[in-house]
């Protein structure tokens, strides 16, 4: 099993840092909605019914995006404020011609090969570009207010350059079908502008600092409620040297003095003090008070609050104790299940195939509990870290919607 030849190539976990040619999750989720808005506005304004055959989103270079534009088209260079950079909206000439023919009363298509746009087609093409801008601003209204204006109209690809040749652009293509024909509407925008917007959304920076992230608090609260913890109850402590331990023999007496009260410990944190005894043959302890600021011995407890302070102060104290508890965050590269006998066959250089797809985000665990997903990123150019892409429930809900 371990010696099976496999087609292996190195996996670069930092690829998303070096190049932005990854899926644009924001535009990918909104591109179909934008094109449906365009179709609705065309029906609303022109009374022309269109059907969306497909909607494709990709991240490509500026030159590659321009090369995919149709030969006969009307394109508008647009400025989307407050985003930096300019975008392009292109409407294929065949789609414009089909809509114009339908508005003029035509009932069947012709075999006319379009070599240029007529004056009327140019007029309706400009309206369709305006419809696309209106759809984009309407879809993004809940995320960030956009103001789209057309800087200039062009019919030739050579005059549509808005950035460097290798600059990364988000290209969204919608293919529409009308009664008399079909064609595409293409929208390209700078990747850099929407990358900053995606970062704000993923970090929750679009909400006011005074607002509470309810989903995050609910998820962390559920994690606290369901995570099992192990509490040690100690009755004696002492600091001794390694030499003392090395010299111990069976029957020696340890230089430990019993503490006046038992101390409940979680990790390295003293949680409470308690009286101890026995009950039904088992050692037991009765909670006396939660631990305050620990002394050097770690046994000094705080006086319980008076009953008059109410439940709110009890909850505040509980949260203060919880905030000091440390947890272990781990990022898992993947897992593999092997028969136990294969452990003896491990050799340097052998290959283990994990269950983690190469194009999927990595799993983040908190004390062994699945918490979220992330990707490797750079911190300050000198260290590596993990960017949190979302909570588990976010990805689960997205998968259920896709299904």
Closest CA to 231 of 152, 146, 149, 291: 291
Closest CA to 171 of 38, 61, 17, 95: 61
Whether the pLDDT of residue 366 is over 70: the answer is: yes
- Cα separation of 239 and 251, whole Å? 20
**For the residues 119-142, what does the mean pLDDT come to?**
91
Confidence (pLDDT) at 120: 92
Confidence (pLDDT) at 225: 77
**For the residues 367-393, what does the mean pLDDT come to?**
77
Better pLDDT: 267 or 313: 267
Whether the pLDDT of residue 352 is over 60: the answer is: yes
**Using one digit for the tens of pLDDT, what is the confidence trace for 79-94?**
988 887 889 999 999 9
Check if the beta carbon of residue 19 is closer than 8 Å to that of residue 60: no
Confidence (pLDDT) at 383: 73
CB atoms within 10 A of CB 364: 21
**For the residues 257-276, what does the mean pLDDT come to?**
82
**For the residues 358-378, what does the mean pLDDT come to?**
82
Q: Is 4 exposed, middle or buried (0-12, 13-18, 19+ CB in 10 A)?
A: exposed
Check if the beta carbon of residue 176 is closer than 8 Å to that of residue 39: yes
Task: Tell the residue number behind the tokens 């700078």, with chain if given.
Answer: 190
Q: What percent of the chain is predicted at pLDDT more than 70?
A: 75
Better pLDDT: 401 or 392: 392
**Using one digit for the tens of pLDDT, what is the confidence trace for 289-316?**
655 544 443 443 334 444 444 444 555 5
pLDDT category at 176 given cuts 50, 70, 90 is very high
Confidence (pLDDT) at 356: 82
Confidence (pLDDT) at 69: 92
Check if the beta carbon of residue 231 is closer than 8 Å to that of residue 268: no
Q: In the chain, what are the domains?
A: 25-204 (3.40.1550.10), 227-291+321-401 (2.30.330.10)
**Using one digit for the tens of pLDDT, what is the confidence trace for 328-341?**
788 888 888 877 67
Rounded to 5, what percent of the chain is helix, strand, coil?
35, 30, 35
**Using one digit for the tens of pLDDT, what is the confidence trace for 209-263?**
445 567 777 777 777 777 777 788 888 877 777 787 778 788 787 777 778 888 8
Helices (H), 79-206: 93-103, 119-139, 191-202
Whether the pLDDT of residue 150 is over 90: the answer is: yes
Q: What percent of the chain is predicted at pLDDT more than 90?
A: 17
Q: Which of 148-152, 157-161, 277-281, 317-321 has the lowest mean pLDDT?
A: 317-321
Whether the pLDDT of residue 123 is over 90: the answer is: yes
Confidence (pLDDT) at 304: 41
Whether the pLDDT of residue 200 is over 70: the answer is: no
pLDDT category at 34 given cuts 50, 70, 90 is very high
Q: Quote the tokens at residue 88.
A: 């392009």
- DSSP structure string for 128-158: HHHHHHHHHHHHGGGT---EEEEEEEESSGG
Check if the beta carbon of residue 35 is closer than 8 Å to that of residue 185: yes
Positions of E strands within 38-115: 51-61, 73-81, 86-92
Mean pLDDT of the chain: 77
- Please give the model's pTM, rounded to 2 decimal places: 0.50
Q: Which of 93-102, 113-122, 197-206, 369-378 has the lowest mean pLDDT?
A: 197-206
Q: Which of 134-143, 159-168, 317-326 has the lowest mean pLDDT?
A: 317-326
For the chain, count helices (H), then strands (E): 10, 14
Tell me if residue 177 falls in helix, strand or coil: strand
């Amino acid at each position: 099993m371990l010696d099976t030849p496999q087609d292996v190539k190195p996996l670069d976990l930092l690829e998303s840092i070096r190049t932005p040619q990854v899926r644009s999750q924001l535009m990918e989720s909104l591109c179909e909605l934008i094109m449906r808005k365009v179709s609705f506005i065309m029906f609303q304004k022109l009374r022309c019914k269109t059907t969306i055959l497909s909607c494709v989103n990709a991240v490509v270079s500026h030159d590659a995006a321009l090369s995919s534009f149709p030969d006969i088209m009307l394109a508008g260079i647009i400025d989307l404020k407050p985003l930096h950079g300019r975008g392009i909206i292109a409407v294929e000439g065949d789609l414009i011609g089909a809509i114009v023919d339908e508005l003029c009363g035509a009932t069947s298509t012709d075999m006319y090969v379009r070599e240029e746009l007529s004056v009327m087609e140019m007029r309706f093409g400009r309206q369709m570009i305006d419809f696309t801008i209106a759809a984009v601003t309407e879809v993004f209204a809940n995320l960030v207010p956009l103001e789209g204006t057309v800087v200039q109209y062009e019919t030739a690809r050579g005059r549509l350059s808005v950035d460097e040749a290798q600059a990364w652009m988000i290209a969204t293509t919608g293919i529409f079908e009308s009664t008399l024909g079909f064609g595409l509407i293409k929208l390209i925008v700078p990747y850099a502008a929407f990358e900053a917007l995606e970062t704000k959304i993923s970090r929750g920076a679009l909400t006011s600092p005074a607002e509470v992230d309810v989903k995050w608090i609910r998820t962390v609260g559920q994690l606290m409620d369901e995570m099992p913890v192990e509490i040690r109850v100690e009755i004696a402590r002492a600091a001794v040297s390694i030499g003392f331990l090395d010299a111990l023999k069976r029957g020696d007496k340890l230089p430990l003095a019993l503490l006046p009260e038992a101390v409940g410990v979680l990790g390295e944190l003293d949680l409470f003090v308690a009286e101890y005894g026995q009950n039904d043959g088992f050692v037991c302890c009765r909670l006396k008070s939660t631990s305050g600021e620990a002394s050097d011995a770690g046994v000094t407890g705080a006086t319980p609050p008076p009953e008059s302070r109410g439940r709110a102060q009890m909850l505040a104290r509980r949260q203060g104790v919880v905030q000091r508890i440390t947890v272990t965050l781990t990022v898992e590269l993947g897992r593999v299940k092997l028969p136990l006998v294969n452990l003896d066959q491990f050799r340097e250089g052998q290959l283990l195939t994990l269950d983690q797809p190469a194009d999927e985000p990595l799993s983040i665990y908190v004390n062994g509990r699945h918490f979220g997903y992330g990707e490797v990123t750079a911190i300050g150019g000198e260290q590596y870290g993990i960017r949190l892409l979302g909570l588990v429930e976010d990805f689960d809900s997205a998968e259920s919607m896709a299904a």
